[in-house]
Amino acid sequence: MTFLCPKCGDVCSHVQSLVSSTRFVKCDKCSHFFVVLSENEGTKKPKDEKSKKRPPPPTPKKIYEFLDKYIVGQDNAKKVMAVAVYNHYKRLHNNSLHSSTAKPSTNNSSQNSAAQQQRLLLNVGIPVYTVPLENSNSNSNSNSNSTNENPDELKHGSDVINSDKYDLRLEKSNILMLGPTGSGKTLLAQTIAKCLDVPFAICDCTSLTQAGYVGEDVESVIAKLLQDANYNVERCQQGIVFLDEVDKIGSVPGVHQLRDVGGEGVQQALLKMLEGTIVNVPEKNAKKMRGETIQIDTTNILFVASGAYTGLDKIISRRKKEKYLGFGISPSNEPPSRRRAMQLEQNDQSDQKDSMIEEENLERDKYLQECEARDLIEFGMIPEFIGRLPIIVAFHSLNEDMLVRILTEPRNAYAPQYQALFQMDKVQLDFTDGALRAIAKRALQRKTGARGLRSILERILLDAMFDIPESDIVGVRVDEEAVKTNKNPEYIRSRSTNETDDNSSSTSPENKTEKDDEDQISIPTI
Output the DSSP codes for 122-187.
-TTS-EEEEEP-TTHHHHHHHHHHHHHHS---PPPHHHHHH-------PPP--EEEE--TTSSHHH
Same domain, yes or no, for 440 and 292?
A: no
Residue 334 belongs to a domain: no
Residue 463, helix vs strand vs coil? helix
Tell how far CA 125 is from the center of its chain.
41
Last residue of a domain, which of 335, 367, 397? 397
Over its C-alpha atoms, the chain yields an Rg (Å, rounded) of: 36
The C-alpha atoms of residue 50 and residue 30 are separated, in whole angstroms, by: 40
Distance CA 113, CA 5 (A): 18
Q: What is the crossing angle of helices 185-194 and 75-102, to 10°?
A: 40
Do 379 and 475 belong together in one domain?
A: no
Query: What's the domain count of the chain?
Result: 3
354 and 393 share one domain? yes
Supply the pLDDT for residue 68: 92
Residues 406 and 283 in one domain: no
* Sequence-ordered strand ranges (E) for 308-431: 391-394, 428-431
Asked whether residue 404 is assigned to any structural domain, the reply reads yes
Contacts of 121 (CB under 8 A, 6+ apart): 127, 128
List helix spans (H) across 259-372: 264-275, 312-319, 336-344, 350-369
3-state percent helix, strand, coil for the chain, nearest multiple of 5: 50, 15, 35
- Give the CB-side neighbour count of residue 39, counting CA atoms within 13 A: 12
Residues 6+ apart with CB under 8 A from 54: 197
Residue 250 lies in a domain: yes
Amino acid at 151: P
503 lies in some domain: no
The answer to whether 309 and 183 have CB atoms below 8 angstroms apart is no
- CA diameter of the chain: 139
429 bridge partner residues: 476
What's the order of all strands across the beta sheet hosting 428-431? 428-431, 473-478, 490-493
425: domain CATH number is 1.10.8.60
- 26 lies in a domain? yes
Asked whether residue 410 falls in the same domain as residue 391, the answer is no
> What letter represents residue 511's amino acid?
N
Q: Quick one: 95 and 115 in the same domain?
A: no
Q: How far is CA 227 from CA 388, 440, 526, in A?
A: 25, 39, 92
Q: Which of 397, 414, 436 is the last residue of a domain?
A: 397
Report if residue 505 sits inside a domain: no
Q: Which of 236, 387, 223 is nearest to 299 (CA)?
A: 236
pLDDT value at position 340? Answer: 55
pLDDT < 50 regions, the chain: 17-20, 41-51, 104-107, 109-126, 131-144, 146-149, 151, 257, 324-332, 334, 346-347, 504-526
Torsion of CA 139, 140, 145, 148, to 10 degrees: 140
Angle at 381 between CA 73 and CA 186, to 5 degrees: 30
- Where residue 295 sits, what CATH number does that domain have? 3.40.50.300
287 and 258 housed in the same domain: yes
Q: Is residue 190 part of a domain?
A: yes
**Terminal alpha carbon distance of the chain:** 134
How long is the chain? 526
Both 280 and 300 in a single domain?
yes
pLDDT of residue 517: 47
Residue 426, in any domain of the structure: yes
Count of other CB atoms within 10 angstroms of residue 37: 14
Measured CA to CA in angstroms, residue 253 lies from 132, 157, 379 at distances of 71, 48, 8
**CB contact set of 5 (below 8 Å; sequence gap of 6+):** 11, 12, 27, 29, 30, 32, 34
**Which one, of 497, 461, 456, lies nearest residue 476 by Cα?**
461
Per-residue burial over 299-319, b if 16 or more Cβ lie within 10 Å, else e, is ebbbbbbbbbbeebbebbbee
81 by Cβ neighbours in 10 Å (0-12 / 13-18 / 19+) ranks as buried
User: In this structure, are residues 305 and 249 in contact, taking their beta carbons and an 8 Å threshold?
Assistant: no
Q: Tell whether 90 and 221 lie within a shared domain.
A: yes
Residue type, 509: P
Amino acid letter, residue 217: D
Helix (H, G, I), strand (E, B) or coil at 11: strand
3-state secondary structure of 84: helix
Q: Are residues 236 and 259 in the same domain?
A: yes
Whether residue 281 contacts residue 233, with contact meaning beta carbons closer than 8 Å, is answered with no
* DSSP designation for 230: T
Residues 115, 17 share a domain: yes
Helical H runs in 296-349?
312-319, 336-344
Task: Look up residue 205 and give its DSSP letter.
Answer: G
Neighbour-count burial of 363, counting CB atoms closer than 10 A to its CB (0-12 exposed, 13-18 middle, 19+ buried): middle
Q: Give residue 158's pLDDT.
A: 63
For residues 429 and 476, the answer to whether their CB atoms sit within 8 Å is yes
Tell me: do 20 and 126 sit in the same domain: yes
Q: Give the domain range for residue 37.
A: 1-53+110-143
Cα(269)–Cα(275) distance, rounded to whole angstroms?
11
How is residue 247 annotated by DSSP? G
